[in-house]
């Protein structure tokens, strides 16, 4: 199934279909990711391009407490319905970028997540039809300032600081979303080791729930929650997010 990425090409953001080979990765640029993902005839080696987050959403949804063990490690009760907030799209960060810790004196945690990329918009989407609205999935991190989060009733600011939404590198299509491992490696050591089958609310349930009163649009992203094992980041750390067999999302940490 196709794999897509987004890059700067000829001074503009362009989506491309990724070809994997023994010689490296080739980006075959496409006409339109959502309406016409046919190859345009232009291509370039990925190593020669500046990689961008694989999609630029108008809405970036985040889901909390969607793994029972993660809720337990923070002493939270399980929600009856999905717990949702918005992360600012300005928090997006590409693969290979630096996560800039805004307040080094605060505890700032990593949270590995599977992110859904909406391919077809809609409202009041039945759960049975939800997968028809998913273009694909990509690794993500929901970086979280715990001091701000615990001091405010709304979590959006604590999780929307610049660079606090690493995403990518690629969108993978056609995967079994109930059969993906979710891992964080911090400086090469596994810190989170969960699985999407442990989700309380499935991707289909999340799409149906959110769309009951909020119109979903092509390109929207839904971050589906994190498994147990979250922990703090420090200046100089190397953070890696592995979701199934997808290419890992890797970023470095810098304190201001």
Residues 221 and 124 in one domain: yes
Q: How far separated are the first and last CA of the chain, in Å rounded?
A: 41
Tell me, what's the pLDDT at 72?
A: 67
Q: Which domain holds residue 19?
A: 3-52
Residues 47 and 67 in one domain: no
Residues 146 and 189 in one domain: yes
Residues 18 and 129 in one domain: no
pLDDT in tens, 210-252: 999 999 999 999 999 999 999 999 999 999 999 999 999 999 9
How would DSSP label each residue in 68-94? Answer: HHHHHHTTPPPPSS-EEEEEPGGGEE-
pLDDT in tens, 140-158: 999 999 999 999 989 999 9
Kindly state the percentage of the chain with pLDDT values over 70: 98
* Measured distance CA(252)–CA(101) in Å, rounded: 11
218 token code pair:
């092509």
Tell me, what's the pLDDT at 75?
A: 66
Based on the structure, what is the number of domains in the chain? Answer: 2
Q: Structure pTM? A: 0.96
CATH of the domain at 157: 3.90.850.10
Residues 22 and 77 in one domain: no
Residues 134 and 157 in one domain: yes
Residues 73 and 105 in one domain: yes
Residues 144 and 36 in one domain: no
Residues 26 and 132 in one domain: no
Low-confidence ranges of the chain (pLDDT < 70): 71-72, 74-76
In DSSP terms, which residues pair with 52 in a beta bridge?
6
* Measured distance CA(141)–CA(13) in Å, rounded: 22
Residues 39 and 66 in one domain: no
Residue at a domain's end among 12, 27, 52: 52
Residues 171 and 233 in one domain: yes
Residues 133 and 249 in one domain: yes
CATH of the domain at 21: 2.30.30
65 token code pair:
């407490």
């Amino acid at each position: 199934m196709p794999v897509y990425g987004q890059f700067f090409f000829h001074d503009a953001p362009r989506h491309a279909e990724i070809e994997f080979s023994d010689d490296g990765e080739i980006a075959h640029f496409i006409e339109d990711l959502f309406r016409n993902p046919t190859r345009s005839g232009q291509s370039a080696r990925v190593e020669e391009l500046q990689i961008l987050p694989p999609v630029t959403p108008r809405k970036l949804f985040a889901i909390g407490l969607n793994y029972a063990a993660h809720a337990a490690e923070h002493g939270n009760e399980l929600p009856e319905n999905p717990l949702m907030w918005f992360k600012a799209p300005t928090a997006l960060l590409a693969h290979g970028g630096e996560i800039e810790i805004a307040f080094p004196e605060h505890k700032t945690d990593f949270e590995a997540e599977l992110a859904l990329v909406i391919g077809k918009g809609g409202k009041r989407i039945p759960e049975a039809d939800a997968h028809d609205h998913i273009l694909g999935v990509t690794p993500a991190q929901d970086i979280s300032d715990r001091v701000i989060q615990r001091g405010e009733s709304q979590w959006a600011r604590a999780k929307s600081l610049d660079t606090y939404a690493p995403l990518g590198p690629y969108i993978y299509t056609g995967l079994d979303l109930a059969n993906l491992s979710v891992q964080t490696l911090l400086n090469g050591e596994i810190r989170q080791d969960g699985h999407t089958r442990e989700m309380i609310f499935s991707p289909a349930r999340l799409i149906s729930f959110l769309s009951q009163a909020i119109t979903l649009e092509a390109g929207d992203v839904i971050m589906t929650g994190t498994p147990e094992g979250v922990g703090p980041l420090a200046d100089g750390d190397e953070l890696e997010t592995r979701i199934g067999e997808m290419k890992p999302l890797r970023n470095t940490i810098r304190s201001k």
